[in-house]
Amino acid sequence: MKILIIDEMHLSIIDLLEKEGHQVDYEPKISRSEILEKVAGYHGLVIRSKTSMDRELLEKASQLQFIARAGAGLDQIDLEYLVERGIKLFHAAKGNRDAVAEHAIGGLLALFNHVIKADSEVRKGIWDREGNRGHELKGKTVGIMGYGNMGSQFAKRLKGFGVRVMAYDKYKLGFGSDEVEEVIWEKVKAEADVLSLHIPLTSETRNFFTYEELKSFSKPFWLINTARGEVISFEVLNRALDEGILKGAVLDVLENEKFKKFTDKQKEEFERLTARDNVIFSPHVAGWTFESYEKINKVLVNRIKKAFN
């Protein structure tokens, strides 16, 4: 097949695909208008998140047989139209699930032990032991929302910490084990000390975490979001932190990740968030390690090979 790669990828993917007999055009700097002009000549697209795979683009892709998404999120892809056309969709959640799980653990431990704050203070000659007294993870109840590739790997990483792990997944049943309690959402809200989000962005999950939803939790908790920022707004985060509903947050994703396109309200609320010592940020890199960058390629090429052989 003739395959167009439109985003930056680990270059190993070219060799992997060519070894399977495919013709590969690697064009990570290609613009959307250029994609629209030439997509009709390709059987496969390999993408990250440069441009939406919407009906406008897909209708021009007259020979398209598959889209391979180097990542987990599918919110920029017109899934209904893919089904209508019979276009296969591959994504590589297995390629970066270990990276996401480790990042979530690292952020949680840094939050519990004031690592960012303490490091900044010591560099300034401030030796404040009491002000940086931390919390232990052992003995806490950790709730996981979404028990797919990411959520299940996060649960595995928690095994050695002496915590109770409970998980809720609206679309998955029968995954409970000796290590993980399968529970309803209300039980997570009643008992979790920590909540880690591993859910996709859908019409159901967008802005799911309203102020009222957070207020319905039985006790203050720490929040980890390595999933999608649009599930909770800056405004809701600030209000929950102000009122002690949230004890702190680890945020790898944001409501809006394009700083130059913030509304005035988003800018104001984001500045309030960044002034807090109990919020840790990273730039959507939880699944973005040197190892996952290469593993994603192997996962995608394997899936393409199995589907078309």
pTM of the model: 0.91
Question: What pLDDT is stored for residue 94 in this prediction?
Answer: 87
Contact (Cβ atoms closer than 8 angstroms) between residue 281 and residue 253: no
Percent of the chain at pLDDT above 90?
A: 94
Point out the catalytic residue in the list 257, 268, 271, 291: 257
Point out the catalytic residue in the list 48, 121, 284, 294: 284
Q: Is 123 one of the annotated active-site residues of the chain?
A: no
Question: What pLDDT is stored for residue 70 in this prediction?
Answer: 87
Q: What are phi and psi of 98, to 5 degrees?
A: -65, -40
**Closest of 274, 188, 194, 283 to residue 238, by C-alpha:** 274
Per-position b or e across 202-218, b if 16+ CB within 10 A of its CB: eeebeeebebeebeebe
Question: What pLDDT is stored for residue 14 in this prediction?
Answer: 96
Question: What pLDDT is stored for residue 163 in this prediction?
Answer: 98
Question: What pLDDT is stored for residue 47 in this prediction?
Answer: 94
What is the chain's pLDDT, residue by residue, as a tens digit (309 residues)? 999 999 999 999 999 999 999 999 999 999 999 999 999 999 999 998 889 999 999 999 999 999 999 877 788 899 999 999 999 999 888 889 999 999 999 999 999 999 999 999 999 999 999 999 999 999 999 999 999 999 999 999 999 999 999 999 999 999 999 999 999 999 999 999 999 999 999 999 999 999 999 999 999 999 999 999 999 999 999 999 999 999 999 999 999 999 999 999 999 999 999 999 999 999 999 999 999 989 999 999 999 999 997
Question: What pLDDT is stored for residue 71 in this prediction?
Answer: 77
How far apart CA 122 and CA 159 sit, in angstroms, is: 32
Which residues neighbour 112 within 8 Å (Cβ) at sequence distance 6 or greater?
A: 134, 135, 136, 137, 222
Q: Is 228 one of the annotated active-site residues of the chain?
A: yes
Question: What pLDDT is stored for residue 218 in this prediction?
Answer: 98
Point out the catalytic residue in the list 228, 255, 269, 303: 228
Question: What pLDDT is stored for residue 74 in this prediction?
Answer: 82
